[in-house]
Amino acid sequence: MVCQHCNQVKATVHITDALPQKREQHLCEACAEKAGVIIKQTHHTTNEILQQFIKHKAGLGVGDDLACPNCGVTFKEFQLKGQLGCPHDYVAFAKLLMPLIQRAHEGGTHHVGKVPSTADGTIKKHTGLLRLRRELQEALEQENYERAARVRDQIRTMEN
């Protein structure tokens, strides 16, 4: 049986409408798709499925093809490899990376550790203050007021 619509290709889609009155249609796959009777399924590779999963986990939309102007690596490539292309990627992908970073580091968003010996005084001071403020908060939560007072004094000295 050939397609009732194009009269050329063998009909492989057979539809019977029961209502409002019984009607039979015999169409080929292409005509059935055009008529909206069937929706062709696209084949997803395992990688695509994984990528969707990572994007879903990271709370990202599909199609984030942001590229780093320095090294040319796209965010998509990072998602596939798990490694970035250059240090500038942290700036180029900041918005997309931060949720991932925060999740991987128990909510940590700011560095409070050592700074390179070549870093200028402002960076050292900034990082040191962040660390001390966190220590102050911890001391207060633990009701260790002696330690809290000590840390508070250190913060004051540094701020001045």
Stretch that binds another protein, among 14-22, 35-43, 80-88, 149-157 (CB under 8 A): 80-88
Is 82 a binder of another protein (CB under 8 A)? yes
CA atoms within 13 A on the CB side of 148: 10
Nearest-angstrom CA–CA distance, 2 and 11? 5
Query: Which ranges constitute the DSSP H helices of the chain?
Result: 29-34, 46-58, 75-81, 89-92, 94-104, 121-141, 145-159
Of 6, 23, 72, 158, which one interacts with another protein (CB under 8 A)?
A: 72
Residue 157 beta carbon to another protein: minimum distance, rounded to whole angstroms: 18
Is 67 a binder of another protein (CB under 8 A)? no
DSSP letters spanning 66-102: -B-TTT--BHHHHHHHSS-SSTTHHHHTHHHHHHHHH
Nearest-angstrom CA–CA distance, 75 and 65? 6
Whether residue 14 contacts residue 25, with contact meaning beta carbons closer than 8 Å, is answered with: yes
Of 36, 61, 113, 121, which one interacts with another protein (CB under 8 A)?
A: 113
**Binding string, 121-160, against another protein, x = CB under 8 A?**
--x--xx---x-----------------------------
Which residue number, 24 or 65, has a Cβ lying nearer to another protein? 65
Residue 31 burial (CB count, 10 A): 21
Stretch that binds another protein, among 8-16, 20-28, 36-44, 105-113 (CB under 8 A): 105-113
Of 105, 137, 142, 144, which one interacts with another protein (CB under 8 A)?
A: 105
**Residues forming the site for another protein (CB under 8 A):** 71-73, 81-87, 90-91, 97, 100-101, 104-119, 123, 126-127, 131
